[in-house]
Copies of this chain bind each other. A is one copy, B any other.
Amino acid sequence: MTQIKTKNSERSKSEAKAEAILRAGMQEFLKHGYAATSMDKIAKAARVSKATIYSHFGDKEGLFNAVIQDLVKDKFQTVIGLQTPQSLAKDPKIVLSEIASRMLDNTQRDRTFQDFIRIIIGESGRFPEIAQAYVRNLSKPGIETLTQYFKAHPKLKLEDPEATVRVMIGTLVYFLMLQEMLHGKDILPFENERLVNTLTDLITQHQQ
């Protein structure tokens, strides 16, 4: 009984350390990338010793994988949460505009998410399994959800719904990448609304 208590107590403390390590690792990896992040800095930020990190996550790659998988899970909840069952009665022009504008605004405000995308792409050569986890858990559900909406909507009359979804998402992602992540907005300024209007016009012009 006391032994169990002790064990549970110790496990709790151990899990608390593991969580602190994950949080610290997230912070450091997102800011500096994989190679430029040291285990010493993570240990310091998490207020644990390096040996504790190694006992929990094996090695640096193990921790990195755990951190990224954690982030992917977290963002997956966001994507799933955004599956607001869109009313099929509403004008799709308005629905699409709202979805696009919200995606643009949210990403522009969320620097952490930009860092996350940066590291997924930047490390996709050396960590292909991480890139694929991203595709499987974020890109795929996102594309499939929007495709379902496109298919279900009678007014849109799209010949190839999934291809159209790829046009829409691609337009938005590229815009965010160029303007925000690559700091292009000072060189090639462009208003969200102009892009959103043109995009929704192109997709909905066949209507009725």
Residues on A lying within 8 angstroms of B by beta carbon are 31-36, 115, 118-126, 128, 131-132, 134-136, 139-140, 143, 159-160, 162-164, 166-167, 169-175, 177-178, 181-184, 186-188, 190, 194-195, 197-199, 201-203, 205-206
Alpha-carbon distance A172/B194, docked complex (angstroms)? 20
- Pairwise interchain contact A139-B178, C-beta atoms closer than 8 A: yes
The chain B residue with its CB closest to the CB of A134 is B182
- Pairwise interchain contact B164-A132, C-beta atoms closer than 8 A: no
- Pairwise interchain contact B201-A131, C-beta atoms closer than 8 A: no
Alpha-carbon distance A115/B134, docked complex (angstroms)? 19
- Pairwise interchain contact A163-B118, C-beta atoms closer than 8 A: no
Q: Nearest chain B CB to A167's CB is how many angstroms away? A: 5
Q: Nearest chain B CB to A70's CB is how many angstroms away? A: 19
Residues of B within 8 A of A124 (CB): 118, 181-183
Q: A33-B126, A166-B171, A173-B174 are in contact. Are A188 and B118 (CB under 8 A)?
A: no
Residues of B within 8 A of A167 (CB): 167, 171, 195, 198-199, 202
Q: A121-B118, A122-B118, A122-B122 are in contact. Are A175 and B183 (CB under 8 A)?
A: no
A32, A140, A163, A184 — which one has the most chain B CB atoms within 10 A of its CB? A163
